[in-house]
Amino acid sequence: MYTAYFGLSELPFSIAPNPDYLFMSERHREALVHLTYGLGETGGFVLLTGEVGTGKTTISRCLMAQLPENTQTAFILNPTLSSQELLATLCDELKIRYRKTGATLKTLTDKIQEKLLKNHQANINTLLIIDEAQHLQAEVLEQLRLLTNLETNTKKLLQVILIGQPELQQLLQRRDLRQLSQRITARYHLLPLSKADVEQYIKHRLAVADCYRSLFNKGAIAMIHKLSQGIPRLINLLCDRALWIAYGENKSVVDKNTVIKASAEALGEEYKPTPWWQHKGVKITTTLLLLSTALVAGIWWGQEQQVNLHLSKAASDISTIDENPTTAKLAQQTQQPKVKNSPVITGKVNTATTVKQHEEVSPIDKPTKAASPIEESKKPLVLGYIPKERTLAAQKIISAEKEQNSLDNINLEPSEGVSKELLASFQQAIAETSADHDSTQALEPDTTQDFTKVQNISQMPTSLQNALPSLQFQMHIFASDGQGWVRVNGKDIHEGEKIAEHLYLDKILPQQVILRFRGERFAMPALSSW
């Protein structure tokens, strides 16, 4: 065993759900708070989903440990049951006596409802937790919904927590289960651990096993996070196998290569990291680089061909001028002032200078009239180059169009049969529309603000409270990745969306929502009515 070699009191990375090794990351704490809030006075169904091994069962056990003493809990681990078998299991968990031979759905339902009424009269809350709920059949879920129909004017007599994998969300989207889906008052999707959480998770489990030094270096932790994708169960398997390999190789610290070896043994070949040159991103980048190089080479070659063509044409023109005495004399007189003080050059002729001088005196190439911006924009472009003049002209045209379409620049003029009062009303409506548009643009959702300090709706001015439309929050779905949403007045609203006139949803928090009405932000409980 490697425990003595590394100074450990016990195996720190066992996959058994030992409560001593419970690590509550920020996401796990959010999930626990969300479940606790969902089991409030009005709670019916609460949903907790997440990938395999993310710690859903651990959260449920932690929730059960924090429940008040006046709560009777039924915990079902094997939901692959029929409707009658599920009711019988619920009776066993709640210690309800029933006749096991000849029991029917009606007799079991009557017994359970009788128990729920007794618990309510004795001020005892009844809670049902079903793990691996994605295996529940549709008719079993419908039977659970019927059980929750027993209620008072203020609360449900049976509260149900469904815990399962992401397939459970797809199951509840079925049309025949829409009644149950509408009764889920709180949902939370548990995401895997981040890289920082993985490091804290490993240190926490080592500390519980009486080891306070770092057994995994930075490279090993980064590789563990990459291979496990932040799933705690896979982290345990990787760390345990890596410690075994390090012990066999007499290493005091687990490094990156040790983790890679452990991945093939503990997780299989499919989890073995791919070499960097085989990554999809590297292949795409290499292909784009080759295409860019070929494009640049093609442009350069084309420009070189154009230069050579111009030089050949210029040389041909010069030779024609030299053959014609009259033209040669005229060219010599025209060029004489520019080369008056230049030294005499013998030997080879500077072709580039000659071409440049020829182009300067050529009357054919000089424009006779300045081109307008529109005409300039119609000129053909050379690949890879846009003239600066054409860019400025396009910018001026776009600016002119924006000014023409602006509400602020609309001025109405009177026409025959239109009174001055009506004209003034139209002008005022245009001004108010522009001001309302500007204020809406200026009040975009602020992601940097501390929304936990926003005032409650009861602290708003009375005038705004009276103007606020009626609201009914029928569902509250919070997720730490920002993908949560709420159902308000029968409509699903995400962060930043408009609820009603001048009313927007700015933020969804675990226990409340932040709204913005006419420029004022305020908080409301996640499940409430106004």
Number of Cβ within 10 Å of residue 499's Cβ equals 19
Distance CA 195, CA 204 (A): 14
| Per-residue pLDDT at 430 | 61
Residue 194 and residue 485 in contact, taking contact as beta carbons nearer than 8 Å: no
Nearest Cα to Cα of residue 118 among 89, 97, 146? 97
Structure token digits, residue 314: 């210029």
Residue 76 and residue 130 in contact, taking contact as beta carbons nearer than 8 Å: yes
| Alpha carbon distances (Å) from 115 to 79, 175, 376 | 22, 31, 87
> Same domain for 241 and 108?
no
Q: Which among 240, 273, 306 is the end of a domain? A: 273
> Same domain for 104 and 92?
yes
DSSP 434-498: HHHHHHHHHT---SSS-GGGPPBGGGS-HHHHHHSPP-BEEEEE--TTS--EEEETTEEEETT-E
Residue 280 and residue 305 in contact, taking contact as beta carbons nearer than 8 Å: no
Q: Where are the beta strands (DSSP E) in 207-319?
A: none
Torsion sign (Cα): 379, 385, 387, 388: positive
Torsion sign (Cα): 440, 441, 442, 448: positive
| Per-residue pLDDT at 495 | 85
> Same domain for 165 and 303?
no
Residue 231 and residue 52 in contact, taking contact as beta carbons nearer than 8 Å: yes
Please report whether residue 364 resides in a domain. Answer: no
β-bridge partners, 162: 47, 130
Distance CA 17, CA 457 (A): 43
| Per-residue pLDDT at 222 | 93
> Same domain for 77 and 178?
yes
Task: Tell me phi and psi for residue 290, to 5 degrees.
Answer: -65, -40
Nearest Cα to Cα of residue 13 among 191, 226, 222, 244? 244
Distance CA 217, CA 302 (A): 54
| Per-residue pLDDT at 379 | 46
| Alpha carbon distances (Å) from 201 to 20, 24, 75, 204, 376 | 13, 9, 27, 5, 65
Nearest Cα to Cα of residue 63 among 181, 188, 165, 157? 188
Please report whether residue 337 resides in a domain. Answer: no
> Same domain for 245 and 133?
no
> Same domain for 257 and 303?
no
CA terminus-to-terminus distance, the chain: 63
Coil, helix or strand for 103? coil
Domain CATH number, residue 200? 1.10.8.60
What is the amino acid identity at position 325? Answer: P
Residue 55 and residue 163 in contact, taking contact as beta carbons nearer than 8 Å: no
> Same domain for 7 and 110?
no
Residue 229 and residue 263 in contact, taking contact as beta carbons nearer than 8 Å: no
Please report whether residue 160 resides in a domain. Answer: yes
Number of Cβ within 10 Å of residue 188's Cβ equals 28
> Same domain for 70 and 180?
yes
Please report whether residue 83 resides in a domain. Answer: yes
Nearest Cα to Cα of residue 162 among 270, 317, 43? 43
Please report whether residue 66 resides in a domain. Answer: yes
Please report whether residue 214 resides in a domain. Answer: yes
DSSP designation for 417: T
Distance CA 428, CA 425 (A): 5
Please report whether residue 292 resides in a domain. Answer: yes
Alpha-helical regions (H) of 189-230:
195-208, 218-228
> Same domain for 254 and 120?
no
Residue 96 and residue 127 in contact, taking contact as beta carbons nearer than 8 Å: no
| Per-residue pLDDT at 414 | 57
> Same domain for 284 and 143?
no
Residue 192 and residue 229 in contact, taking contact as beta carbons nearer than 8 Å: yes
Residue 112 and residue 90 in contact, taking contact as beta carbons nearer than 8 Å: yes
Distance CA 524, CA 472 (A): 11
**Which residues in the chain come in under a pLDDT of 70?**
40-43, 269-281, 314-452, 479-483
Please report whether residue 172 resides in a domain. Answer: yes
Structural domains of the chain, count: 5
Domain CATH number, residue 50? 3.40.50.300
Residue 300 and residue 275 in contact, taking contact as beta carbons nearer than 8 Å: no
Task: Tell me phi and psi for residue 476, to 5 degrees.
Answer: -135, 115
> Same domain for 80 and 151?
yes
Q: pTM for the complete prediction?
A: 0.54
| Per-residue pLDDT at 43 | 63
Domain span holding position 497? 451-525
> Same domain for 397 and 504?
no
